[in-house]
Amino acid sequence: MSYTNFTLDIDADGIALVTWNMPDRSMNVFTEEAMRELNAIVDHVAGDAAIKGAVITSGKDSFSGGADITMLQKMLATFAAEKEHDLDKATRALFDNAGYMTGLFRKIETCGKPWVSAINGTCMGGAFEMSLACHGRVAADSDKVRMALPEVKIGIFPGAGGTQRVPRLTDQQQALQMLTTGQNLSPQKAKSMGLIHEIAEPSKLVETAKAMITNGLKPVAPWDEKGFKLPGGPIYSAAGANLWPPAIAILRRETYGNYPAAAAILKCVYEGLLVPFDTALRIEQRYFTEIMQSKEAAAMIRSLFLSLQELNKGARRPAGVPDTKFKKIGILGAGFMGAGIAYVTARAGIPVVLLDRDLPSAEKGKAHSDSLMADQVKKGRAKPEDKDRLLSLIMPTADYADLAGCDLVVEAVFEDSGVKKDATEKAEAVLKSSAIFASNTSTIPITALAKNSARPKNFIGVHFFSPVDKMMLVEIILGKKTSDKALAVAFDFVRAIKKTPIVVNDTRGFYVNRCVLRYMSEAYKMLIEGVPAAMIENAAKAAGMPVGPLALTDETAVDLAQKIMKQTIKDLGDKAVDPKQMALINTMVDTHGRFGRKNGKGFYDYPAKPAKKKLWPGLKDLYPQLKSEKVDYEELKERLLVTIALEAARVMEEGIVTDPREADVGSILAFGFAPFTGGALSYIDGIGAKRFVKIAKGLHKKYGAEFKAPKLLLDMAEKGETFYQRFDPYQKGEVKQAA
């Protein structure tokens, strides 16, 4: 029998080699067809007396990415359609569908023949669950091999036996850590945890796996043998008593109850370890069916997997423009941002010319890459030769002539129009006519900066976030005259350095900063109202934000907030900034010299390590303090999220961002907008436009104009629309604009 996604070869020793190699896919994934084929192969292996056992491996560089998420989406779409007619029947169908993979892997485990998984590369999710169901597991000794059960990161959990096999192979503490964080495991870490048996030279991977079978590997899982004992001891033991109460408290501290899938993992492990294995699988299947119906899962799967994947593949890149293969890229300005951009560019294997006003300044910028790579080497994430290779790609200079031959120049000089004008003119004097000039400005409109260029069609914005090596988002900003070619080249650059691009039309603050400034502004208002600073920060984290607004202000610098406010007043007039907020920031900077983390004092005090930062006690003396019982904590959480979401809606109304995927993914990657909601627009869609408008009106009445719902939202509320209906990213032609 022939298969589309697998090949089956039986050697002279009677060992079947099952090679997974899906056509037309860069990575193997579990589709319905792939699972049916694997099911048939298991039957073949089990039913053929001449076959002693099977080794399953991949014909690609990676092993597998796990389940095809679009398959899960299809299951959910079917459930949504059928539940309107018969909820019980629809739920039962979802339960049965969710259990197919569980049943397949259990079939491998109990088929009576030994199976060995030979893991040659990335092995994620369902693929690792399948490997755990095999009787033996061998991983190649390679940096390319990473194993994980990362489902919790997209709002679900490993529901094909992962929550039951992992804590039966390793101790419960390590199991919970792995399952609730989705952490990647190296072969060495996986072996130390007992999740794999051997590590082999890549060239001997299959040979080592086959040897396990010829050496008498038992075709029985440990938990199916009489007398099996859990590695870390039973739930009801002294070890269990020391583990579970803190584990529950830690999960609550880390997630604030916002992630149902993470809580379900604890329930699955706890309940599952108290019962026989097959019963435990049914418990897991029940919880998985429940989580699959949650709005958090739907939102996170869409934004953090599907939309993110589509944007990374260039969903918004102009069609018909040839791909750019970069031979040399110039970076103007070797300060913190410029040095960071140089690092990620060189890390992508692209030669970089790093230019500053003098050679020592440029060399200091290169030293930033040296420091980052030295840290990677120290942590074992890179080799000394990797560091040497990267540094050899960065050429520090003070001579604009060295930019000749660059395909793209990224300007990251001081945020001053005059300085940027001078850098643009000097660079264009030596660049070829086809070269693209990109500005990393964070505040100045691209159209205004493009007036400094002799080639405005080749002028574009690429707005990075700090620190560049860690932040995954880049805003690509279009000026009025920016060409499709410039946009395509910017896309190719962002994708080459493995960042996620979103397209933003020109406006003050672009997209991300407009939302972030609203977040900070609301916190300043709360302080002025007398809300204790600790309540503001804690409310933000409880709402799902990774960093409180006051801490975020410190990170970006309090004196920068002052400069932005002053510039806004200069450009737009006194009414553009709340005078009370201006007074607060002036007091922080001018009276108390508190500039933020950079000088060790802002809204927080930053003592020497290992001491942790703490809120500045002087904050409570700036305004009369409300008693905590007088503060509506839930309303604080609501205000912080709603003010951001309203700004995101305004950005869509104004046509600054036109694709809801970009608004959602951008809000999560840039400033961590409550990921469990799926992003700023999905937050509104999850609540429903009608109810959201009602909430906004209540806040508008109590707290002011920043909570006024835009006409777009009022229209959507009246029509019962969502953003993904109104601005359907998959429809042909232009998205619908606001009414």
In sequence order, what are the residues at sequence separation of 6 or more whose Cβ sits closer than 8 angstroms to the Cβ of residue 6?
Answer: 18, 19, 20, 21, 34, 37, 38, 41
User: Shortest CA distance to 440 belongs to which of 335, 361, 516?
Assistant: 335
Q: Any idea what the Cα angle at residue 276 is, between residues 273 and 279, rounded to 5°?
A: 95
Residue 350: left if φ>0, alpha if ψ -120 to 50, beta else—which one? beta
In sequence order, what are the residues at sequence separation of 6 or more whose Cβ sits closer than 8 angstroms to the Cβ of residue 76?
Answer: 94, 292, 293, 298
Q: Report the greatest alpha carbon distance in the chain.
A: 86
Q: Write down the residue that tokens 């905590």 correspond to.
A: 628
The three-state secondary structure class of 112 is coil
| Secondary structure in 3-state letters for 552-583 | HHHHHCHHHHHHHHHHHHHHHCHHHCCHHHHH
- Strands 604-605, 500-505: pairing is unpaired
The three-state secondary structure class of 397 is strand
Taking the C-alpha atoms of residue 38 and residue 129, their distance in angstroms, rounded to an integer, is 14
Taking the C-alpha atoms of residue 253 and residue 180, their distance in angstroms, rounded to an integer, is 13
Q: Which tokens hold the place of 587?
A: 């007091």
How many Cα neighbours within 13 Å face the side chain of 696?
Answer: 26
The three-state secondary structure class of 733 is coil
Taking the C-alpha atoms of residue 449 and residue 227, their distance in angstroms, rounded to an integer, is 74
Annotated active-site residue 463? The verdict is: yes
Number of CB atoms found within 10 A of residue 639's CB: 27
Instruction: Identify whether the C-beta of residue 373 lies closer than 8 Å to the C-beta of residue 386.
Output: yes
User: Shortest CA distance to 631 belongs to which of 527, 513, 726?
Assistant: 527
Instruction: Return the bridge partners of 209, or none.
Output: none
Instruction: Identify whether the C-beta of residue 326 lies closer than 8 Å to the C-beta of residue 350.
Output: yes
Q: Which amino acid is at 672?
A: G
From 135, 197, 368, 463, active-site residue: 463
Instruction: Return the bridge partners of 116, or none.
Output: 55, 136
DSSP-H helix ranges across 48-192: 69-83, 87-98, 100-110, 126-133, 162-169, 172-181, 187-192
As a dihedral over the C-alpha atoms of residue 427, residue 430, residue 432, residue 436, rounded to 10 degrees, the angle is -10
Sign of CA dihedral 256, 261, 262, 267: positive
| Rg (alpha carbons) of the chain, rounded to whole number | 28
Residues carrying an active site annotation: 463
